[in-house]
């Protein structure tokens, strides 16, 4: 049985490394170009697998060179890829511009748009046999809501990482177990700029990552802040995905919310000390060794 099921996007990340980002109409000579497995769903699946969980990925790729590479990468990283559907369209692609300490991303969804309710029905037994299901918003919203309704009915925990930010229905907000936006996504999704007031509305559900300021949530009594771990930043790509994969593991291990956030925050900090979303994700041993 797979403890964690991730339903979401699978992309090939085309990474452009430069000392600064070009302005409109400007051409720059960059430092490096990399082709790396990515997609928020795939990243979160690999993050959890690297940390020791049994993980199954449900998603779609194209019948092209990128799709084959992505499936091969899942196999290398210990993610069960047997439920990934190959289609006669292009695999999703993300163009990532990395400068000194940050990144900008443009995503072409491709096959990710075909992660629909019919695909979910094909793999319903896998979903119902899991301990937690992890979702993001790089697949159709209809599918996300469909999965959350199923999991809520069968008392299966769910994590929704609402990126890229989009308005969520009250049904999703009510039925999902955890929502994990960054602070900018939280403001856009909920229309509330006061984060602490927003957290009070969704205690023990809404967990907001704030980069170097740490992670913040409300435990039903007070606002709790888990400070960031100070590291030398190399590439922030995939930090949020590492956080979500690590957080999922803690919840299937029945750790408290504060324990889960601390562990996930540590894993995310390690991930930004190396290039690449999945390449920077730590193993369980790395997190345990890290002080």
Annotated catalytic sites, by residue?
Answer: 241
Using N-to-C axis directions, what is the helix angle for 40-50 and 239-252, rounded to 10°? 50
DSSP string, 56-111: EEEEEEESSHHHHHHHHHHHHTTEE-TTEEEESSPPEEEEEEE-SS-EEEEEE-GG
Alpha helices in 82-226 (DSSP H): 117-122, 124-128, 141-153, 170-175, 183-190, 195-201
**Residue 84 in contact with residue 45, Cβ under 8 Å?**
no
Question: Helices (H) and strands (E) in the chain — how many of each?
Answer: 11, 14
Residues 6+ apart with CB under 8 A from 269: 228, 229, 231, 239
Kindly list the distances between the CA atom of residue 8 and the CA atoms of 36, 105, 228, in Å, as whole numbers in the listed order.
17, 17, 27
Which residue is listed with tokens 């019919």? 118
Strands 32-38 and 11-17: antiparallel
């Amino acid at each position: 049985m797979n403890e964690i099921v991730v339903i979401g996007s699978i992309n090939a990340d085309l990474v452009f490394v430069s000392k600064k980002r070009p302005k409109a109409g400007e051409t720059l000579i960059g430092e490096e170009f990399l082709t790396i497995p990515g997609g928020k769903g795939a990243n979160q699946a690999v993050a959890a697998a690297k940390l020791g969980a049994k993980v199954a990925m449900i998603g779609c790729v194209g019948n092209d060179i990128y799709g084959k590479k992505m499936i091969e990468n899942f196999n290398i990283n210990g993610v069960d890829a047997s439920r990934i559907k190959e289609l006669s369209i292009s695999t999703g692609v993300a163009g990532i511009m990395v400068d000194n300490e940050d990144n900008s991303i443009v995503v072409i969804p491709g096959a990710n748009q075909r992660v629909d309710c019919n695909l979910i029905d094909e793999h319903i037994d896998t979903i119902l046999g899991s301990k937690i299901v992890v979702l993001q918003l790089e697949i159709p919203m209809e599918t996300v809501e469909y999965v959350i309704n199923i999991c809520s009915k069968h008392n299966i925990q769910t994590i929704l990482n609402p990126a890229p930010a989009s308005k969520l229905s009250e049904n999703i907000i009510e039925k999902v177990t955890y929502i994990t936006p960054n602070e900018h996504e939280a403001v856009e999704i909920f229309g509330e700029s006061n984060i602490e007031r927003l957290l009070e509305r969704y205690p023990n559900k809404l967990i907001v990552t704030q980069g170097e300021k740490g992670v913040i949530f409300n435990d039903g009594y007070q606002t709790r802040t888990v400070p960031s771990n100070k590291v030398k930043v190399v590439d922030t790509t995939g930090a949020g995905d590492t956080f979500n994969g690590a957080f999922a593991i803690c919840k299937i291990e029945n750790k408290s919310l504060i324990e889960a956030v601390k562990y996930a925050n540590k894993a995310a900090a390690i991930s930004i000390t190396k290039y690449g979303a999945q390449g920077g994700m730590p193993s369980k041993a790395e997190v345990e060794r890290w002080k």
